[in-house]
Amino acid sequence: MDNDELIKFGNGHTSLNFPDSEEKSSPHISSADYACSSGERNATKYSEDELVEMLKSGDYEDIYRALGAIGKRKLKKALPYLKNIALYDEDQSIQKEAIMTIRKIGGRKAFEILRFLKTTEHAEFAQEMLDIKRSEDIDAS
């Protein structure tokens, strides 16, 4: 990815607005958790290209919804965008969700990104994600 494609994500707003028809099932769930938990529904609702565009939109509601769906679909084409979100978004909760989504996607490229993120300010969290990924791989064998 060249420098022209590097995008700084986010607008600094962390509150999400949901339509009345999408009531939260628990008053104790965060807006971010709610949006990510809707990943199953969003995984079939949007095309791969629409999900990538949602990541690039800068709208936190769209980003959270896309992260949940991308994790469910294990959408490898989103990895470069997820890496940029993890590195450059101004909201740490979005950064962590992006890193968790990278782990959910899995595969060699995701593992390489997580290893790279260990060299950044996300070293501790990236290591946790690598440890979880390794334990999942061991459990699967």
Determine, yes or no, domain membership for 136.
yes
pTM above 0.75, yes or no: no
Domain count, the chain: 1
Determine, yes or no, domain membership for 125.
yes
C-alpha dist (Å) from residue 70 to 21, 30, 62: 23, 19, 12
The domain of 63 spans 23-140
pLDDT tens per residue across span 4-57: 333 333 333 333 343 433 444 444 555 556 656 666 677 788 999 999 999 999
Determine, yes or no, domain membership for 1.
no
Determine, yes or no, domain membership for 62.
yes
| Structure confidence at residue 74 (pLDDT) | 93
Q: What angle do CA 133, 135, 141 make, to 5 degrees?
A: 105
Highest mean pLDDT among 30-39, 94-103, 127-136: 94-103
Question: Is the pLDDT assigned to residue 70 strictly greater than 80?
Answer: yes
CB neighbour list of residue 82: distance below 8 Å, 6 or more residues apart: 55, 67, 70, 98, 99, 101, 102, 105, 113
| Structure confidence at residue 44 (pLDDT) | 80
Residues in the chain: 141
